[in-house]
Amino acid sequence: MGEKSRSRGCCGWFLVLVILGLIAGAIVFAVKKKSSHSDDDPAPVPGPPGAIQKKYSDALKMALRFFDVQKSGKLVDNKISWRGDSGLKDGSEANLDLSKGMYDAGDHMKFGFPMAFTATVLSWSILEYGDQMDAVGQLDPAKDSLKWITDYLINAHPSENVLYIQVGDPEVDHACWDRPETMAEKRPLIQINASVPGTDVAAETAAAMASASLVYKKSDPSYSSKLLKHAEELFSFADENRGIYSINIPEVQTYYNSSGYGDELLWAASWLYHATQDETYLDYVAGSNGKLYAKWGSPTWFSWDDKHAATQVLLSRLNFFGSESASKSVQVYKKTAEAVMCGLIPESPTATSSRTDNGLIWVSEWNSLQHPVSSAFLASLYSDYMLTSRTAKFSCNGDSYTPADLRKFAKSQADYVLGNNPLKMSYLVGYGDKFPQYVHHRGASIPADAKTKCKDGFKWLDSTEPNPNIAYGALVGGPFLNDTYIDSRNNSMQGEPSTYNSALVVGLLSSLVTTSSAVQSFT
C-alpha cells in the first residue's frame, strides 16, 4: 500500500509539473509571438538551396536577359533575336578593342562609372547567391554577362595610370534615335590619367575587378589573376592620384556626376581585402581613411554614386564570419549597417519615411526603383548573414528584430516591382501579364529590319504604337511618389531602364529564389 501511494503521488506531481511546463511554454510562445515583428512565413535556414520559389525564379531568368539586350560588340548565339553586332570599332582611335561592354540604358553610350558598378554588384550577387542561381540554371548566364563587362574593363585599362571611362559623345548620341546596329556617329573616347585623375571611377573599376576575380578564381584561375592584377593597379592609381572625375571632366556632369570618391576608395579596399586577405586593405578601411570617409553612424542609400551602405554591409561579413581581430577592426561598420537595416524595417522606431503609401522605398523622382531594389538587396544579404551565423536578432532603439523581418521587407519591395502595386503592373519588362509597352529604349522601339539613320528614327520615338521589340528583363525607372506610372516612350524619367538597375534586381531576386542563406566564404 505504501509503495502504491508513493507511486501515485509521484505520478500526480509529475502531471502537475508537465501541465505547468506546458502553461509556461504557452506563455513564452505568446510573449514571443506578441513581441515578434515577423510574418508567418517560414524563415530561411542555412544550408544548400531549398525549395524553388517559382515567382522569383521566373523573374530572375527574365531580369538576366536584359544584359543580352544591352551587349555591344560581336554577338554570338545572342538570345535576343532583334539584336545584332554593334560598336565593333569602339576604341579604335586609341588602338584598343572596346567593342564589348554594355550600353548604359536606352541609348548607346558606354559610361565606365555605372558599368563598373554593374559588374561589382553582379559579382557580389554571384558570390553570395551563385548556388541559388545555379539551382534555376542561371549561374552560367550571369557569369557570361559579367565577363562581357570585365573583358571590356581589362581592355579599357591599357597601362597602370590610364583608364578609358567613356565611349561615345552623349550630346551626339542623344541627338540620334537609331538602332545600335546601324549607328554611324563618331564614338570618341575619354580617359582619366595621372594628370586628369578620377579616383571615384578608377576605384569603382578596381572594386569590379577584385570582386570578379573571386567569381572566376576556381573556374578560370588565369583570368582571375589577371583581374586581380588590374584591380590592385587601379586601386593604387585611384588612391595616389586623387580627384573627382566629374570635376576634372565637366562634360560628364550632366549624366553621371559624382558626389565624391571616399566611398569608392573604401568599397574597393573592402573588395581587395576579400580577394587577397591582405591586411593592408583592412587597415585602410579601419584607419584614417575610414574615419575620413566612412560616414559611421549616418545611414545612407546605396546607389551607383554612393557605396557607403554597401561597404558597411560587406564589411559586416567579417563580424559574422571573420576572425576575431578582423571583426573587431570593422565593428563600427557593422553598427552603421544595423542602422541602415533599422531604417528599412517599416515597424522600426527609426524607420525611414521615404516611402510611397503602398510601402515602396522612394527617394528620387528619376529612376525611382534603384533605391528600393538596392535597399532590399542589402536587407536580404544582412538577413542571410544573421541566419548563417545563427544571430537571432538585432536592436533598433530598444526594439528587437530578426532576419525574418529583413526578409519580409526585401520581399515586399520585390513583390511591388513584380506587380503587387496599385497598378497591378510588373515593372520588370517581360514578366507577368502586364508590363510597360513603351519603354524608352532605342533598339526596342525600332523594327529590326528598319533602315533608319540618325535623325529619321525619331518617328519611332514619337510613334503611338507599342515597341515592336520587347526589351526583355528591363527594369524601368519606376513609379512616382503617388504610385503612378505614365507608360510613354518620351517619359525617360520613368520609362528608361539601365544595366546597373538590372544588376541590383538580379541580386535581389537571386536572394529570394530559394530559402537558402548566404555563403560564409567567397573562396
Question: Are the CB atoms for 419 and 479 separated by under 8 Å?
Answer: no
Residue 256 grid cell: 553621371
The per-residue pLDDT for 317 is 96
The DSSP line for 123-189 is HHHHHHHHHHHHHTT-HHHHHHHHHHHHHHHHHT--BTTEEEEEES-HHHHHT----TTT--S---E
Exposure of 450 by Cβ count < 10 A (0-12 exposed, 13-18 middle, 19+ buried)? middle
Residue 28 grid cell: 513564452
Find the helix or strand (DSSP H, E) in which 194 lies: none
First CA to last CA across the chain, in angstroms? 71
| Region at 10 (left for phi over 0; alpha for psi -120 to 50; beta for the rest) | alpha
Taking the C-alpha atoms of residue 355 and residue 314, their distance in angstroms, rounded to an integer, is 25
CA 246 to chain centre: 23
Instruction: Give, as one character, the DSSP assignment of residue 322.
Output: S
* Dihedral sign of CA atoms 220, 147, 152, 85 in order: positive
| 371 annotated active-site | no
The per-residue pLDDT for 44 is 52
Taking the C-alpha atoms of residue 162 and residue 192, their distance in angstroms, rounded to an integer, is 6
Instruction: Give, as one character, the DSSP assignment of residue 86.
Output: B
Residue 126 grid cell: 554571384
Taking the C-alpha atoms of residue 290 and residue 360, their distance in angstroms, rounded to an integer, is 31
Which stretches in the chain have pLDDT values below 70? 1-48, 516
Angle at 366 between CA 360 and CA 371, to 5 degrees: 40
pTM attached to this predicted model: 0.91
The per-residue pLDDT for 260 is 97
Q: Which domains does the chain have, with CATH numbers?
A: 89-258 (1.50.10.10)
The per-residue pLDDT for 35 is 38
The per-residue pLDDT for 48 is 67
The per-residue pLDDT for 13 is 42
Instruction: Give, as one character, the DSSP assignment of residue 193.
Output: E
Residue 30, CB half-sphere, CA atoms under 13 Å: how many?
6
* Dihedral sign of CA atoms 298, 301, 302, 303 in order: negative
The per-residue pLDDT for 502 is 98
β partners of residue 190 = 166
pLDDT digits (tens, 9 = 90+) for 113-124: 999 999 999 999
Q: Give Cα separations from 465 to 439, 461, 489, 493, 496 (angstroms).
A: 11, 10, 10, 20, 17
Taking the C-alpha atoms of residue 124 and residue 49, their distance in angstroms, rounded to an integer, is 18
Annotated catalytic residue, options 108, 157, 230, 440: 440
Task: Report how many helices (DSSP H) and strands (DSSP E) the chain contains, helices first.
Answer: 21, 5
